[in-house]
A = this chain, B = another copy of it.
Amino acid sequence: MKILLTNDDGIGAPGLYALYQEMVKHGDVTVVAPDSEKSAVGHAITLSDPLRVTDFMKNEKFFGYAVNGTPADCVKLAYWALNIKPDIIISGINLGANTGVNILYSGTVSAATEGIFLKLPAIAISLTTFQSPDFSVAAKFAARLAKTVVKNGLPEGTLLNVNVPAVKEEEIKGVQITKQGRALYQEKFDKRIDPHNKVYYWLTGTKVELEMDDDVDDRAVLNNKISITPVHFDLTNHKFLKELNSWEIEL
């Protein structure tokens, strides 16, 4: 199994290293990842700047290719410029959940989305904590799931978005196939004054749960289950399309 690994926390992130250490037991691994943190970059790509690739060393050995771009750039560049043609792309292990609307902001998921465009199976995997993470459960699960995905294949245009609860292995209550939640953020901007007496703003937000269905990504994680959401990007609202045709829209 030829495996391409990437992430959005940057090539030096512990979550990527944990994933790497597990995946090398199962196949031929190449790492192509951003040279610095690129969280919440959404599906950004770099058009107006040149991209550079540098060898990234870990414990004095070659670990992977660092790119001065976004997660989506990394996958494109790996495939088209570095000629890496993997059987599967795995993006992660992200520090922090990628559930609900966060999927849209997520660099981790965007890298997996590039897999869709390349018609390659792809998994995005996140550990739902920001504190003292232990990536081992998520890494082992990623390896098992990757094998299943390569064996079964995924429908065209679909990736798997995995969120692993940040609890001990024995506390995990199973795997649940889920829907993307629709929780929204009650957002706020902290208005502050800088040392030069100028105003600046800092985004904060609190998630507001909208649904209590058990088959939603956030809920599964709260119930200590590993959440797997099949994600696709068929963005047309087909139902409303019919209604829209009945609108009188003047040229």
Which A residues lie at the B interface, using CB under 8 A? 37, 39-48, 50-53, 72-73, 76-77, 79-81, 101, 103-105, 110, 113, 117, 141, 144-145, 148, 152, 154-155, 157-158, 172, 174-175, 177, 179-180, 182, 184-185, 187-189, 191-192, 194, 198-203, 226, 228-241, 244-245, 247-251
Q: A53-B199, A117-B184 are in contact. Are A179 and B233 (CB under 8 A)?
A: no
Which of B148, B188, B237, B249 is within 8 Å of A231, CB to CB?
A: B237
A233 to chain B, nearest CB (A): 6
Copies in the complex: 2
Q: Helix, strand, loop or mixed for chain A's interface?
A: mixed
Query: Which of chain B's residues has its CB closest to A182's CB?
Result: B157
Q: Are A203 and B104 in contact (CB under 8 A)?
A: no
Q: A192-B50, A251-B172 are in contact. Are A179 and B44 (CB under 8 A)?
A: no
Residues on B with beta carbons closer than 8 Å to the beta carbon of A249: 144-145, 148, 175, 228
Q: Are A77 and B230 in contact (CB under 8 A)?
A: no
Residues on B with beta carbons closer than 8 Å to the beta carbon of A103: 235
Q: Are B104 and A250 in contact (CB under 8 A)?
A: no
Residues on B with beta carbons closer than 8 Å to the beta carbon of A202: 50-51
Residues on B with beta carbons closer than 8 Å to the beta carbon of A241: 177, 179, 230
